[in-house]
Amino acid sequence: MNCSKKTNQVNLHPRGLQKKSIGYMPGLDGLRALAVFAVIAYHLNLTWMPGGLLGVSLFFVLSGYLITGILLKQWELSGGIDLKDFWLRRARRLLPAVFVMLAGVMSWVMLWAPERLAALKQEALAALFYTSNWYLIFHQVSYFESFGPPSPLGHLWSLAVEEQFYLFWPLLLVIGLRCCQQRKWIIGGTMAVALTSAAAMALIYIPGHDPSRVYYGTDTRAFALLVGAVLAMVWPSWKMNADLTGKKRLALDLAGSLGLLVILLMIGTTDQYQPSLYQGGLLLYSVAAAGLVAALAHPASYLGRIFGWGPLRWLGECSYGIYLWHYPVIILTNPVVNTEGLNLSRTLWQIGVSIILAALSRYLIEEPIRYGRRKYLRRRRSNLKWWQRPLAPITKISLSTLLMFLLLFVTLNGGMHISEKALAKSQVSQDPVQTAGQEESTARGAKATDKKTAIQGDEITIIGDSLMINVEPVLQKRLPGIVIDAQLGRQMYQAPDLISRLEEEDKLGKIVMLELGTNGSFTEKQLRKTLDSLESAVEILLVNTRVPKPWEREVNETLTKVAESYPNIKLIDWHLLSSGHEEYFYPDGVHLTQSGVQAYGEILLETLISDQMDGE
């Protein structure tokens, strides 16, 4: 995620040696651009790139390759590694941009959402010490499933994983280099640790459960970084020769193209709830990424020239800053409740603002701090007029911070107005016109129920989560005797045991409605297991979900697919019926206002009644 042309050009200053360089590999910066925009697409919930989160694994493989290359080259030149110099360079490279981003976000929150400041202070502190991933694990904050407004700092977990790698990997590598004379043992040991990490991910992961533990953990994500490290050991960039024969060059580009094809296919077809991703899929992806990196790092590669295209390369050079800024911009400018789907104009300016902030950060803060002021400029300074003198670093930092805050303030203030509008809509139930409409709808539903006396409440069982807790009074009033078992945080994998208990207690009616999926995804296998346990039910109704999380699509697609294969199942499309009705939802975009409770209850009642009429 580094943001400079020096990113993949290794500069060496070990123990007074003359400065040397491995050489700049422009194709790798182009690959960074692909990685960061995959992540942006994921955070924008673009349905055509459900696997955009895999861009983070691309960054991991790249970091493992480049950092290990730096360390191995230093060892070859001097017989040692200057750890102090390495860590100081990493700090100068990474910390300034993080400080500025945190200052901008915290300032905005302090002014416009002070109620969130206490929680964000803890996350900001974890970010400063690069422990965000473990903070989220120990505080049980799900990357995929948490309700309420998402944290604008939630993306910093990946930087924490990388920084922990920068801290511990050089120490382990030095030990290995000193203890093992033959490089093959170091390579074998690194591969063994990588496989252990991938195995830990597969063993800890439980299909259908929240995957955040294995997604965040340094122990379960280290294999991607180590795959890059192994590549640096067997494919050192400083030993590559640009003079390749035609067949060797073709083989190189074919290998890179195959890796690129695997990467694009997985980004376009997988998502975070696909079990295979955690059961070897991410390891396969990392190996494919290593193949692509190997091709792009070679000076003879035609593929490297394509990825080294100027605009793509510049975006890659700024990828670190873009990664830092894009998520706060998206989170703080999105409307509180959005039932309309993708807004193209908002999406484009969110991306544009992220790039502008990253460029400001790069040129006005990161590079001045990273490279400093050359001595000859300081010598000439006294001979220059005041208007000819370059700005001091502190002045650049102050001006750039002010510019970024103003830009952030202007764009985020617009998002704040949207939020206020959404909050106002959530109180629409107090509007006399809306209330009258609800009363009329309730009256119509009551008349329909009265006309159709064949349906009895004690024939119906509903199994649900927190949404059904709110709707229960409406249904109980209209269908006395209905059995509703709803629980906060309930998920699909808990349903079979609950169904068995209800059956033992003789509370399972001939009509069963399942409203699950609000709190997390589930596999097709888990859904079928639940449905097969309802063999005594004459009819089953499935209710899909509306939840502003990436797994909403996965839940609804699974429900639709499975419902089509059972003759006695009907799907209630709450997602479609609630489209365009922001007034149905509280600011978390999930839980229902009084208006939403009435609408939801009426939809369920009308479906139950119409099914009874159709049956006769």
Is a pLDDT exceeding 80 seen at residue 402? Answer: no
Which position among 151, 210, 591, 595 bears the catalytic label?
Answer: 591
Is a pLDDT exceeding 80 seen at residue 401? Answer: no
| Inter-helix orientation angle 26-43/319-333, to 10° | 10
> What is the per-residue pLDDT across 14-29, written as a single tens digit (0 to 9) for each?
433 333 445 689 999 9
Clarify whether 466 is annotated catalytic: yes
Strand 11-12 relative to strand 20-21, pairing = antiparallel
Cα gap 504→520, rounded to integer Å: 27
> What is the per-residue pLDDT across 217-237, written as a single tens digit (0 to 9) for each?
999 999 999 999 999 999 998
- pLDDT band at 427; cut points 50, 70, 90: very low
Distance set, CA 7 to CA 65, 299, 310, 509 (Å): 12, 16, 15, 64
Q: What does the block give as tokens for 433?
A: 């016109």
pLDDT for position 339 = 80
pLDDT for position 488 = 87
Of 99-113, 226-240, 433-447, 567-581, the poorest mean pLDDT is in 433-447
Please compute the mean of the pLDDT values over residues 342-370 and round it to a whole number.
92
Please compute the mean of the pLDDT values over residues 79-105 and round it to a whole number.
92
Please compute the mean of the pLDDT values over residues 506-532 and round it to a whole number.
93
- pLDDT band at 422; cut points 50, 70, 90: very low
Residue 461 amino acid letter: T
- pLDDT band at 426; cut points 50, 70, 90: very low
Report the chain's mean pLDDT, rounded to a whole number: 84
Q: What is the pTM of this model?
A: 0.81
Is a pLDDT exceeding 80 seen at residue 211? Answer: yes
Q: Give the rounded distance of the alpha carbon of 437 from its chain centre.
A: 40
Radius of gyration of the chain (CA): 28
Of 55-59, 221-225, 335-339, 580-584, the poorest mean pLDDT is in 335-339
Clarify whether 243 is annotated catalytic: no
Is a pLDDT exceeding 50 seen at residue 388? Answer: no
> What is the per-residue pLDDT across 139-178, written as a single tens digit (0 to 9) for each?
876 655 556 678 899 999 999 999 999 999 999 999 999 9
pLDDT for position 305 = 94
3-state helix, strand, coil in the chain (%, to 5): 70, 5, 25
Q: How many helices (H) and strands (E) does the chain have?
A: 26, 7
Which position among 466, 521, 578, 595 bears the catalytic label?
Answer: 466
Q: What does the block give as tokens for 318?
A: 């700024």
Please compute the mean of the pLDDT values over residues 555-568 and round it to a whole number.
94
Cα gap 532→525, rounded to integer Å: 10
Q: What does the block give as tokens for 215?
A: 């997604």
Is a pLDDT exceeding 80 seen at residue 417? Answer: no
- Domains observed in the chain: 30-422 (no CATH), 428-615 (3.40.50.1110)
Clarify whether 591 is annotated catalytic: yes
Of 5-9, 47-51, 281-285, 425-429, the poorest mean pLDDT is in 425-429
Cα gap 69→58, rounded to integer Å: 17
User: Got the DSSP string for 270-333?
Assistant: --TT-HHIIIIIHHHHHHHHHHHHHHHHSTT-HHHHHHT-HHHHHHHHTHHHHHHHHHHHHHHH
Closest by CA to 360, choosing from 392, 399, 331, is 399
- pLDDT band at 4; cut points 50, 70, 90: very low
Cα gap 308→289, rounded to integer Å: 17
Of 193-207, 294-308, 389-403, 468-482, the poorest mean pLDDT is in 389-403
* Look-up of token digits 């043992």: 185
Query: Reading across the β-sheet that carries 460-464, which strands appear in turn?
Result: 483-486, 460-464, 511-515, 539-543, 569-572
> What is the per-residue pLDDT across 281-332, written as a single tens digit (0 to 9) for each?
999 999 999 999 999 999 999 999 999 999 999 999 999 999 999 999 999 9
Is a pLDDT exceeding 70 seen at residue 480? Answer: yes
550 CB-near residues (< 8 Å, 6+ apart) = 42, 45, 50, 144, 271, 272
pLDDT for position 20 = 41
Which position among 85, 431, 573, 588 bears the catalytic label?
Answer: 588
Burial class (CB in 10 A: 0-12, 13-18, 19+), 412: buried
pLDDT for position 442 = 47
